[in-house]
Structure 1
Amino acid sequence: MRLIFTSLVSHGHLYPLLPLAVAARDAGHDVLFATGEDMRPVVEKAGLAWESAGFGMREAFASFFGPDAPPRDPTAPPESFYPVIGQVFGNVLPRRFVADLTPLLERHRPDLVVYESGNAGGAIAARLAGIPAIGHGFGRVSPGEVMDIINGHIEDYANEIGVDGVKLTSFGDPVIDICPESVQSPDFLAETNRIPLRPVGWAEPGDLPAGVVGRDKSRPLIYLTLGTAFGDEGVLKRAIAGLARLEADVVVAAGPTVEPAQLGEVPANVRVEAWVPQTELLPHVDLVVHHGGSGTTLGAFGAALPQLVLPQGADQFTNAEAVVAAGVGGQLIGAEGTEDAIFEQSRKLLADDGVRAAARKLADEVAAMPSPAEVAARLPEFAG
């Protein structure tokens, strides 16, 4: 069977699809992954064929604003940026992906398209080509004002080119869902043909920081990250200062948007890295302090870890709410995220038996979800 997977040009949108794509290839299917040039090395390191489709987030926003983009006011409320986000994710990106995927689908004529749920252009291109398709989620679905705006633009574009049946995240197609049911959006569960898939973390191979393996386990190990897109020097410095006060060791992944040198001298119990293999690190960790990105949130769910979430944007706020509602952690939003508050909340989470019990229960739920190989075996059900 010929399969085309497609995702937005972002690690957070690409990584969740790779375990199933690799499992499908290992099952003997002909798998091609269509995404932007920036993600080509990741796809090829996974041993998958790649073709270009779409463009990255920076190019998408630059395409919307043109050469005279006004600087964004960092003090403006997030809601003020919703109209721009709606246009970029609901119009600019879908149009570009449809333009790129249409000839690609014509050349390859796959039996099935697996499109990442944020990539509406993948769903629309498959519908235009008359090729069966299914969605693939990248985390918890986060309904709300910004999603309503995005979906309004998607619906307008779809109607403009004669595609009907547009629905929230699914376009009426089945959706592979990597979020445990107990923390998934009730609205999504009620309206979607859901195919559960265990969230298997994906990270490029790499060595763990020195001192992680074989460390003194009488001292907790805390992992601090703001992910690949929302790094903030000030937030990281405050978090490092708060966490360093604990009788614990701290590993920091600065990410691609903050240079480790920007964080200056750090205490002796803190180690700063540009990048860490998160999937390999989590089994060694006792607490994750992070931004609330889907990959880190779900990874912590699967590893039975308490979480302190410092949401920075996008779906991170609703992910943080889900963490709190599930009893597996806490959240500090905006100005709440002081050094003292991060210290105090982290101290409490490390000592809270109830949080650890809730995290173990959620990890058991994740472990019981179907594996990528099991879901790959079902893919022919959805092909034409």
Structure 2
Amino acid sequence: MRVLMMSTPVPTHFAPLVPLAWGLRAAGAEVLVTAQPDVMPMVRTAGLVGAPVGQELDGDQHLLSFLTEGRRPLECFTRFPPQEMGFYGRVWMDQARANVHTYLELARQWRPQLIVADQVEYASLLLGGVLGIPVVHHRWGVDPISDLALRDARTELADLAEDLGLDGLPMPTETLDPCPPSLQLPTTSQGKPIRHVPFNGFGEPPTWRTRSQKRRVVVTLGTRTLQLNGVPHVRRVLQASAQVPDTEIIATVIPDYWQELGPMPPEVQLVPPTPLHLFIDSCDAMVHHSGSSTMLTAATAGLPQLALPQWSDQFALGEQLQAAGAGITLDDVTRQDNPTLIRDSVQQLLDQPQYHTAAKALGQEIAAMPTPAEVAQDLLQKL
């Protein structure tokens, strides 16, 4: 079977699909990934074949243009109420409109029998409708967006669907959900479970993986956090976390920002971005920006987590993590800018056993979900 995988032009939107792509390849399927050029480095890193389509979006630069100088997203954007989260699908509707005809040309040449795409890649639905083949959407994790955004897309893209000879924007044939059921929002439609298998890029086991007798906390706030005026925020989090007694801090930071961050306490070790799965089992807790893949990677390892969301679906993710008892979320500027509160939150995660118990239960729930290899076999047999 030929499978066309598609992604919106954000590399982290494609990362959750990579283990399924490997499963499909191992099961004998031909897999071609098509997306805007932004995603192609991730495709190559994953050892997959990619066909770039359209122009690079550079979403970080696009988002930066909306920020007041020197302020991060949390300081600039209003948090949308749950019923308005479909707003975050708008930009991807525009991308579908801009690129669907080029995607169709590629698909007609390659003749896929199945399309797999991330949760807001709407050109995939149009291609599936025109070609008469099934389309599977793959969520990122905790999902307050895709149901509402798909509802809006069916209205916004109705004219485009009609131009392509369709009665309307088709629905996905199936939706895969890597979020453990106990963590998913109760308002989100049910999807087919698929276990999160961490894919954080490539690398080698770090030489610093063996730790001292101290407890270890990994702080990984994401490249985008730094690029979107987040250097003062990252500096504050690292300095506050370093105040926790008997604890060492491993901070994954692009080296380009090390000098700008300035001198760090001796408890903080700055390291280049390193695949989390190569060292996460040497850690006792994680501090992060509330990104889906990062959170699920920590959950897979059974780590308590401190979530510091900045925008979009990150708030819902932090809230669900806290509701599950596996973490703490600080979701507003006042609390995130309070070093004492950050320090105390990290210390609670390390000292209070209920966080470790809940985090391990979450990891066990993930381990019981069907693997990407099993889901791949099922898709190829049924669709």
TM tier relative to shorter chain: 0.7 to 0.9
- Give the 3 Å change call, closer, same or farther, for CA 352–166 of structure 1 in structure 2: farther
- Distance in structure 2 (CA, Å) of the matches to 1:70 and 1:278: 31
Cα distance per residue 1:196-219 (max 9 Å; x no partner): 111001022213444222x22x31
- Distance in structure 1 (CA, Å) of the matches to 2:285 and 2:150: 34
**Deviation of residue 129 (structure 1)?**
2.3
- Distance in structure 2 (CA, Å) of the matches to 1:59 and 1:229: 10
Query: Which residue in the other structure is 2:225 paired with?
Result: 230
- Give the 3 Å change call, closer, same or farther, for CA 154–291 of structure 1 in structure 2: farther
- Distance in structure 1 (CA, Å) of the matches to 2:326 and 2:101: 43
- Distance in structure 2 (CA, Å) of the matches to 1:83 and 1:181: 21
**Deviation of residue 41 (structure 1)?**
2.9
Cα distance per residue 1:220-263 (max 9 Å; x no partner): 1111111232231111111111111122111111249x712211
Is the CA contact 1:242–1:340 (under 8 Å) kept in the aligned structure 2? yes
**Deviation of residue 36 (structure 1)?**
2.3
Q: Structure 2: state its 5+ residue gaps.
A: none
**Deviation of residue 6 (structure 1)?**
0.8
Q: What are the equivalent positions in structure 2 for 1:335-346 lying under 5 Å apart?
A: 335-337=334-336, 338-346=338-346
Query: Which residue in the other structure is 1:315 paired with?
Result: 313
Amino acid at match of 1:195: K
- Give the 3 Å change call, closer, same or farther, for CA 23–58 of structure 1 in structure 2: same
Query: Which residue in the other structure is 2:38 paired with?
Result: 38
Query: Which residue in the other structure is 1:252 paired with?
Result: 251
Amino acid at match of 2:368: A
- Distance in structure 1 (CA, Å) of the matches to 2:67 and 2:200: 33
Is the CA contact 1:221–1:251 (under 8 Å) kept in the aligned structure 2? yes
- Give the 3 Å change call, closer, same or farther, for CA 368–83 of structure 1 in structure 2: closer
- Give the 3 Å change call, closer, same or farther, for CA 343–358 of structure 1 in structure 2: same
- Give the 3 Å change call, closer, same or farther, for CA 309–56 of structure 1 in structure 2: farther
- Distance in structure 2 (CA, Å) of the matches to 1:290 and 1:255: 15
- Distance in structure 1 (CA, Å) of the matches to 2:287 and 2:323: 17
Work out whether 1:203 is the aligned partner of 2:205: no
Is the CA contact 2:135–2:172 (under 8 Å) kept in the aligned structure 1? no
Indicate the RMSD between aligned Cα atoms, in angstroms.
2.8
Amino acid at match of 1:182: S
State the 4+ residue runs in structure 1 displaced beyond 6 angstroms.
Answer: 80-84
1:251 counterpart SS class: strand
% identical aligned pairs: 29
1:187 counterpart SS class: coil
Cα distance per residue 1:256-283 (max 9 Å; x no partner): 9x71221111111111123111121221
Cα distance per residue 1:66-117 (max 9 Å; x no partner): xxx776574544259989855423x312213423311111111111000111
Query: Which residue in the other structure is 1:212 paired with?
Result: 209
1:378 counterpart SS class: helix
Q: Structure 1: state its 5+ residue gaps.
A: none
- Distance in structure 2 (CA, Å) of the matches to 1:368 and 1:93: 36
TM, length-normalised to structure 2: 0.87
- Give the 3 Å change call, closer, same or farther, for CA 49–342 of structure 1 in structure 2: same
Number of corresponding residues: 367
Amino acid at match of 1:365: E
TM, length-normalised to structure 1: 0.87
